[in-house]
Structure 1
Amino acid sequence: MSEFKQVVNEGLKKVGSWIKRFFLIVLLLAIAGGATYVWVSSWTYSDGTRAGNLIKISKKGVVFKTFEGQLNLGGFQQNVDGVSGNIWDFSVPKKDVYEQLQNFEGKQVKLFYRERYKAMPWQGKTNYFVYKVEQVE
């Protein structure tokens, strides 16, 4: 009987070390995959400008507070519900730009932005990040 227990214990040790190795590899792959996703998501997809009437700028969020705004580009767009105003949503990563935008609310502005592949929840609600603002005269 002791020989049987010894064989069973050796088998359990081999299986246990295999399971530990398997879960360690899965954990390392998950960490590497997550880091790669965050890195690729932060790449800039496009740079550009948009001009229009700044209609809203606010600080939003339950867990992560981010600066969000809306720009009325003028004109109308047709959607499923009918016709609506042409509104562009954007995020503001820096507080100094957010404060400038607060001063220009209700005025014509030109916004300089970068579009990213995917925004992380702590960065903003949209993929468009405004980094500079100019008032249009």
Structure 2
Amino acid sequence: MTNSTDTQQKKGGFKKFLFITILVILAIGASITYYKYYFVFGEGVKSGYLNYAVKKGNVFKTYEGKLIQEGFGQMKAGGVASNQFEFSIEDDTVFKQLESNSGKYFDLHYKEYHGALPWRGNTVYIVDKVISMK
């Protein structure tokens, strides 16, 4: 009689251990996913001339843009390169403002993430508002 009780307690103990282990693994996975894709690593302002703002993508249509910053980039073999800031845009109104004013000088506020999500854009830089336009 005590033998079957011990067996039931061992099975119950293993189920509890397995349940806790699965919960810990899920919690660690959720934490890593949050840190990689949703934690704002940095934010700031970039200024420059808007080269383009486009909507593109095969499955997820996202808004992408490129800002040409004043100054010189790293020297390449035989020439000078400009500083370019490639970014994604989540908000339709921000995209429409950029799209209709290509070539103008912008101050753009952005957020930087550790990883890119396909439905958020192709880059880790997400422009969320236009601070000024000249």
TM-score (norm 2): 0.73
Spell out, residue by residue over 1:44-94, the C-alpha distance to the aligned partner (whole angstroms, 9 max, x if none): 111110111001100121111110000000222125555322111001011
More strand as a share of residues:
1
1:67 alignment partner, one of 48, 63, 69: 63
Percent identity, aligned pairs only, is 37
- Match in the other structure for 1:76: 72
Cα distance change, pair 110–81 in 1 and its aligned pair in 2 (3 A): same
Cα distance change, pair 34–104 in 1 and its aligned pair in 2 (3 A): farther
- 1:132 to partner: Cα distance: 0.8
- Match in the other structure for 1:135: 133
- 1:33 to partner: Cα distance: 5.0
- Match in the other structure for 2:94: 97
Q: Which runs of 5+ in 1 are unaligned?
A: 1-17
Structure 1: how far apart are the matches of 2:71 and 2:123?
Answer: 22
- Match in the other structure for 2:3: none
1:115 maps to 2:134: no
Matches within 5 A, 1:7-18: none
Q: Which runs of 5+ in 2 are unaligned?
A: 1-13
1:48 maps to 2:26: no
TM-score (norm 1): 0.71
Q: Which amino acid aligns with 1:85?
A: S
Higher Cα Rg, which structure = 1
SS in 2 for 1:51: strand
Greater than 4 Å deviation, 4+ residue runs:
24-34, 79-82
**Number of positions where the alignment pairs a residue of Structure 1 with one of Structure 2:** 122
